[in-house]
Amino acid sequence: MVAITTLLAGLATVLAPALAAFSDPLACSGVCTDTHDPSLIRRSSDGKYFRFATGLSIHTAPALTGPWTNAGNVLSGGSKINNPGSKGPWAPDVSLVGNTYYLYYAVSSFGTQNSAIGLATSTTMEAGSWTDHGSTGLQSKTGDPYNAIDPNLIQVNGANFLTFGSFWGDIYQTQLSSDALTWTKAAPYNVELNKTASRSSEGSYVFAHGGYYYLFWSSKCRKQPQPARATGYTLRLKLKLLDTDPSPLLQAVNAAATILPSRRQARSTRSWSAAARATRDPSYGPLSPLIHNETFY
């Protein structure tokens, strides 16, 4: 614990040179809109890129920078979860689990805690190939300490953890079943809390790299009318030393650093914050779409 505390205390100093030099986003060709709450993944069989967004649209490209084309929808009729937001699922998160792609999504209504996290699976990710499993069992209602949206899966030593949350109690984490299809009913653990009045944290993502777990989330999201440029909104991170006891994965962490302020390349059409749905590219290494609640161009 002392070693972790010492490491985190110097986090901002260590990262400062790299953060100051953080590069502008890569170029994008083809359909580069429809990127609200994105999830990006490279198919293992052929290297084809798939991009998913709120509404569960599918866009594909032969390379990271495009050209991106519309390739249909994960659930063209919406989710089978009984929720007012079922026709327009939010915030997809896609991972390869064994030989199957798992796409977690949220159904909700804006500004409420009437929310649930669902799951669809496919072996190819192509439109028409997805099976909707409905709710994972993880849901929230008014008065709960968390809001069950913005899900993200990470697998650690054979165990499946789902990180989620938006406003209210901010970011939580809980354990899924061994097949990653359902919630185990394990009590969600609060892994990040913004103690300011707005508690404006959401869009979390846990990324394992170089012996650490990194928890990314967006902060200070708010509505911003176009064409005013959004400024001052940030992508933040936590980290924890990789160990053999991930229950809960980030329990020991209590430090954060801003890693990306708003960039001039983005104009807001709804609200702006940065979020990470990271993937690994053979040429670029670990990377993220960097956009949450935003149309990017």
Told to judge if 37 belongs to the known catalytic residues of this protein, a careful annotator would answer yes
Alpha-carbon distance of 159 to 157, in angstroms, equals 6
Alpha-carbon distance of 31 to 186, in angstroms, equals 40
Alpha-carbon distance of 291 to 280, in angstroms, equals 17
Burial (CB < 10 A; 0-12, 13-18, 19+), residue 190, is middle
Neighbours of 242 (CB within 10 A): 14
Point out the catalytic residue in the list 93, 170, 202, 294. 202
Told to judge if 179 belongs to the known catalytic residues of this protein, a careful annotator would answer no
Residue closest to 139 by CA, chosen among 196, 82, 100: 82
Q: Mark residue 232 as left, alpha or beta (left: phi above 0; alpha: psi -120 to 50; beta: remaining).
A: left
Q: Which CA distances in Å does 211 have to 8, 19, 125, 247, 278?
A: 15, 20, 30, 17, 16
Point out the catalytic residue in the list 37, 132, 192, 294. 37
User: Where in the sequence numbering do the catalytic residues fall?
Assistant: 37, 202
